[in-house]
């Protein structure tokens, strides 16, 4: 009997690589990882040809324009990839009856909350990247109401470029660093999110809609850096500073905590503490 196929877009990114890293634990599925070149999301004809060739039962959309500051001057590119391409993918998934999981972000919110954001809270992005992702969510649901959207935040892993790897490198290179201490959230270890996605796909029930996922706990970027320093034994001195000390083209939400109770309840997910997952990541990085 043929195995159910899972098509994963954005094969070069952290989440897709994290899914590839756990794929052997899910032998009953066949995984097909495609880069932007192999699956251009802005080319409907090519997309249809890929879906016809692969015939996936599931599609995980990990492809995104994530250059938050660059998006401020590159609005067209951000919306093309994060919104229009998502619409085309959702249309294609609906046509082929392929179940779509689309990854989104805490940046759809304005960051002015004082309690973790629920899936039902109104979106109100404060930068172009967030606006493009919010539009993508709306288009995915409009063109494929069976879509599952997972919003996540502060993603890191052993792969690619991220806060953890950057901090480890900088702490070796510099004697001191200034780290923002007035933006709070909870990091997401990409392999943890990969397992949750596979739990949803492996389950017997598909419940469309929006879900939130990040690791447990509440910290600032400064707290995150301090933990990385302690776990790696770095000697670098860390200074807490306000976000205003680092003006950037794009505004960042000051509060990024997501309420994860819905995904726990609907899919029986247990979510690790952020520092437990960070330990795992650093251990893997140190093992090389």
Residues 50-83 have pLDDT tens digits of: 999 999 999 999 999 999 999 999 999 999 999 9
How does residue 14 score in pLDDT terms, banded at 50, 70 and 90?
Answer: very high
Q: Is residue 284 part of a domain?
A: no
Query: What is the model's pLDDT at position 246?
Result: 86
How does residue 204 score in pLDDT terms, banded at 50, 70 and 90?
Answer: confident
Q: Is the pLDDT of residue 288 over 80?
A: no
Say how many Å lie between the first and final Cα of the chain, rounded. Answer: 38
Q: Is residue 222 part of a domain?
A: no
Q: Is the pLDDT of residue 133 over 90?
A: yes
Q: Is the pLDDT of residue 229 over 90?
A: yes
Helix (H, G, I), strand (E, B) or coil at 188: strand
Residue 115 CB neighbour total at 10 angstroms: 9
How does residue 44 score in pLDDT terms, banded at 50, 70 and 90?
Answer: confident
Are 8 and 60 in contact by the 8 Å Cβ rule? The answer is yes
Mean pLDDT of the residues in the chain: 96
Give me the CATH number covering residue 51.
3.40.50.720
As for how many domains the chain has, the answer is 1
> For residue 202, what are the domain limits?
5-160+187-216+257-272
Q: In this structure, what token pair is assigned to residue 211? A: 């879900």
Q: Is residue 252 part of a domain?
A: no
Q: Which of 65, 117, 129, 189 is the catalytic position?
A: 129
How does residue 281 score in pLDDT terms, banded at 50, 70 and 90?
Answer: very high
How does residue 91 score in pLDDT terms, banded at 50, 70 and 90?
Answer: very high
Q: Is the pLDDT of residue 1 over 80?
A: no
Q: Is residue 152 part of a domain?
A: yes
Average pLDDT for residues 22-32, to the nearest whole number?
97
| Predicted TM-score of the model (pTM) | 0.97
Q: What percent of the chain has pLDDT over 70?
A: 100
Query: What is the model's pLDDT at position 36?
Result: 84
Q: Is residue 88 part of a domain?
A: yes
Q: Is residue 180 part of a domain?
A: no
129 is catalytic: yes
Q: Is residue 108 part of a domain?
A: yes
Q: Is residue 173 part of a domain?
A: no
Are 110 and 253 in contact by the 8 Å Cβ rule? The answer is yes
* Pairwise CA distance, residues 142 & 94, whole Å: 11
């Amino acid at each position: 009997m043929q195995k159910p196929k899972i098509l994963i877009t954005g094969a070069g990114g952290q989440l897709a690589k994290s899914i590839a890293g756990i794929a052997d634990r899910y032998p009953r599925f066949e995984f097909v990882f495609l880069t932007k070149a192999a699956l251009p999301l802005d080319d409907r004809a090519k997309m249809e040809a890929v879906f016809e060739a692969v015939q996936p039962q599931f599609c995980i959309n990990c492809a995104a324009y994530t250059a938050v500051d660059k998006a401020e001057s590159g609005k067209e590119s951000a919306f093309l990839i994060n919104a229009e391409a998502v619409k085309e993918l959702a249309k294609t998934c609906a046509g082929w009856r392929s179940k779509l999981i689309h990854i989104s972000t805490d940046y759809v919110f304005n960051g002015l909350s004082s309690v973790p954001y629920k899936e039902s809270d109104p979106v109100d992005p404060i930068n172009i990247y967030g606006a493009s992702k919010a539009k993508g969510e709306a288009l995915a649901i409009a063109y494929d109401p069976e879509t599952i959207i997972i919003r996540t935040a502060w993603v890191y892993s052993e792969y690619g470029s991220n806060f953890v790897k950057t901090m480890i490198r900088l702490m070796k290179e510099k004697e001191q660093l200034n780290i923002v201490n007035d933006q709070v959230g909870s990091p997401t270890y990409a392999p943890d999110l990969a397992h949750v996605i596979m739990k949803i796909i492996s389950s017997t029930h598909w419940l469309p809609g929006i879900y939130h996922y990040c690791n447990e706990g509440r910290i600032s970027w400064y707290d995150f850096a301090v933990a990385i320093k302690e776990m790696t034994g770095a000697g670098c001195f860390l200074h807490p500073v306000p976000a205003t000390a680092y003006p950037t083209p794009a505004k960042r939400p000051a509060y990024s905590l997501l309420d994860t109770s819905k995904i726990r309840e609907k899919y029986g997910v247990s979510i690790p503490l952020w520092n437990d997952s960070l330990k795992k990541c650093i251990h893997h990085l140190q093992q090389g």
